Amino acid sequence: MLRRVRAPEGGRAVGFDPDDATVTAARRDPRAFEPLYRKYVGQVYSFAVYELRDHHAAEDATEQVFLQALAGLSRFEERATGDDESTFRVWLFQVARNVLSNERRRARRHPQASIDLAAGVASGEDVEAAVADREEADRVWRAIARLPAQRRRVLVLRFVEEMTAREIGRVLGRSEGAVRVLIHRALRSVAEELARVEREDGTVDEPVRGVQA
């Protein structure tokens, strides 16, 4: 988010991007881009994993995102004018959105076997409970994966990347109000899908935390 600071002469408020100094340095010297890479590589990678459901594809896409961001850094412009606010983080995720959309289109043309993303159960854990938790998470993410692209992305950006509705709106090119509606509808769709699967399987599970109709 942009913080607001007032100009010394009492003029209009201007925005402040916490990455502004690093971005300025990276424009002068590409080697100064490394701190931005270290700061955001984990966030971009997790977004890519949830979008692509493949660790190797996510790694490749993450590198593409940062290469494109570095190449296009001169075109990034911090803005703080009403609904046109933009920070480096928001712009970076706009780049990521485009890269991942292209990768998903490519994957549909050349489908491959999916890779299991579930982590192994560590020794000493309650194996039965851990497997049940993993199965529940798998059901949730299978339901999320079947959502339309915009609804899927708002859930990942909101609950994985912990972006605000305003930031998500900037990434997706939607208003803050539209993002809130998308989140609500996406959660409702996930809840309905889980309920449908439970009815078909004849299973009764505890309600999924954080997903309400």
Q: How far apart are CA 19 and CA 24, in angstroms?
A: 9
pLDDT of residue 107: 72
Residues in Cβ contact with 47 at an 8 Å cutoff, skipping those fewer than 6 apart: 93, 96, 100, 156, 157, 160, 161
* Average pLDDT over every residue of 63-80: 84
CB 134 within 8 A of CB 79: no
Q: How far apart are CA 167 and CA 187, in angstroms?
A: 19
> Is 125-202 assigned to CATH 1.10.10.10?
yes
Q: How far apart are CA 61 and CA 52, in angstroms?
A: 9
Residue type, 74: S
pLDDT of residue 128: 53
Q: For residues 123 and 42, which has the higher predicted lDDT (pLDDT)?
A: 42
* Average pLDDT over every residue of 47-66: 90
Residue 36 main-chain phi, psi, to 5 deg: -65, -40
Q: For residues 84 and 65, which has the higher predicted lDDT (pLDDT)?
A: 65
Residue 136 clears pLDDT 90, i.e. is over it: no
The pTM score is 0.64
pLDDT of residue 106: 80
The percent helix, strand, coil of the chain (3-state, each to 5) is 65, 5, 30
Residue 14 clears pLDDT 50, i.e. is over it: no
Q: How far apart are CA 137 and CA 6, in angstroms?
A: 46
CA neighbours closer than 13 Å in the CB half-sphere of residue 9:
2
Residue 17 clears pLDDT 70, i.e. is over it: yes
pLDDT of residue 15: 53
Q: What is the DSSP string of 93-106?
A: HHHHHHHHHHHHHH
- At 156-183, the pLDDT tens digits run 898 888 898 999 999 999 999 999 999 9
Q: Which CATH number is correct for 17-111, 1.10.3720.10, 2.40.128.120, 1.10.10.10, 1.10.1740.10?
A: 1.10.1740.10
Residue 133 clears pLDDT 80, i.e. is over it: no
Residue 6 clears pLDDT 80, i.e. is over it: no
Mean of the per-residue pLDDT values of the chain? 76
Nearest to 151 by CA among 60, 50, 56, 49: 50
pLDDT of residue 85: 62
Domain ranges of the chain: 17-111, 125-202
- At 190-203, the pLDDT tens digits run 888 888 877 777 64
pLDDT of residue 63: 92
**Fold identical between 17-111 and 125-202?**
no
Q: For residues 43 and 211, which has the higher predicted lDDT (pLDDT)?
A: 43
Query: Hey, which bits of the chain come out as E strands?
Result: 3-6, 13-16
Residue 121 clears pLDDT 50, i.e. is over it: no
- How does residue 108 score in pLDDT terms, banded at 50, 70 and 90? confident
* Average pLDDT over every residue of 70-87: 72
